Amino acid sequence: MPFIESMPKFVFTATSGVLLSGGLLLAGPGTAAADESNEDNDGCMSVDMDLNGADGDFPEAADEAADDLNDELTQDMAGDMDARTATCANEVVEASKDRDMDQEAAAIAMSTVIVETHLNNYDGGDRDSVGLYQQRDHYGSADDRLDAGWATDAFYDELEVVFPDESWKDEEMGTVAQDVQRSAYPDRYHHQMDDAETIVEYLW
C-alpha cells in the first residue's frame, strides 16, 4: 500500500550535520523556511554528495515502501531504495498530483531524478547544479532547487516551455526527459522508465 495513505504527513528528526540551515527540512515550494517548528513538514532531506551522515528518523511506512519497491524494481534502483529515497520519490509524486499532472508525466519526472541523482537530494553537483534534478542556478536559488516539491514544479515549468499545449504526450517519454534536461547522455532516461513507472504506480 502506498505509504502516503498510511502516513499523510511525514515527520522527521534531523540527525545529520550536512542538512542545510542546521537541519532544515524541505517541504513544498516556499513552505519549509516559513515553518519554524518543522514538526509538520514532510520532506526530502538534502544530503552531501558522498552521503556521509545522511541518515534521518523516517516513518516505518517509508521503510516499508522501500522494501516493497526493492522487490519490484529491475533497473538502477533495484535493491537501492531506502526510506530517504522513497520519501524523495513520494515528493515527486505529490508535486505532480498538486500540479494536476498525470502518472505518465510523473514517470518522466521520476526517470529524470533516477538518472540525475538516484533519488538523492544532493546539495552539490557538477558546477552549480544541486537537488534531485541537478538543476543549474538559472532555475532559482539553491534553497529553492533543494526543495523537492519546488524543483519538481520547476521541471514541469520547463517541460511546458519545451512542449507547449501538452505536446509532450506525442513524444517518447525518455525523449521528453532529455529535451527538458538537455543531458550529455540522452539515452539514459529511457532505460530507467520501467522503474520510474513502477515507483509512480506504487506511490500514486
Residue with the bigger pLDDT between 188 and 20: it is: 188
Confidence label for 201 from pLDDT (cuts 50, 70 and 90): very high
Confidence label for 30 from pLDDT (cuts 50, 70 and 90): very low
Answer yes or no: is pLDDT of 58 > 70: yes
Q: How far is the CA of 181 from the CAs of 46, 54, 68, 137, in angstroms?
A: 20, 26, 29, 13
Confidence label for 183 from pLDDT (cuts 50, 70 and 90): confident
CA 101 – CA 83 distance, rounded (Å): 25
57 phi and psi, to 5 degrees?
Answer: -95, 95
- Average pLDDT along the chain: 81
Res 2: pLDDT: 56
Q: How many CA atoms lie within 13 A of 26 on its CB side?
A: 31
Answer yes or no: is pLDDT of 72 > 50: yes
CA 142 – CA 146 distance, rounded (Å): 6
pLDDT in tens, 112-144: 999 999 999 998 777 888 999 999 888 889 899
Answer yes or no: is pLDDT of 67 > 70: yes
Answer yes or no: is pLDDT of 10 > 70: no
Res 56: pLDDT: 77
Share above pLDDT 70 across residues of the chain, in percent, rounded to a whole number: 79
Confidence label for 89 from pLDDT (cuts 50, 70 and 90): very high
Answer yes or no: is pLDDT of 97 > 70: yes
Res 5: pLDDT: 53
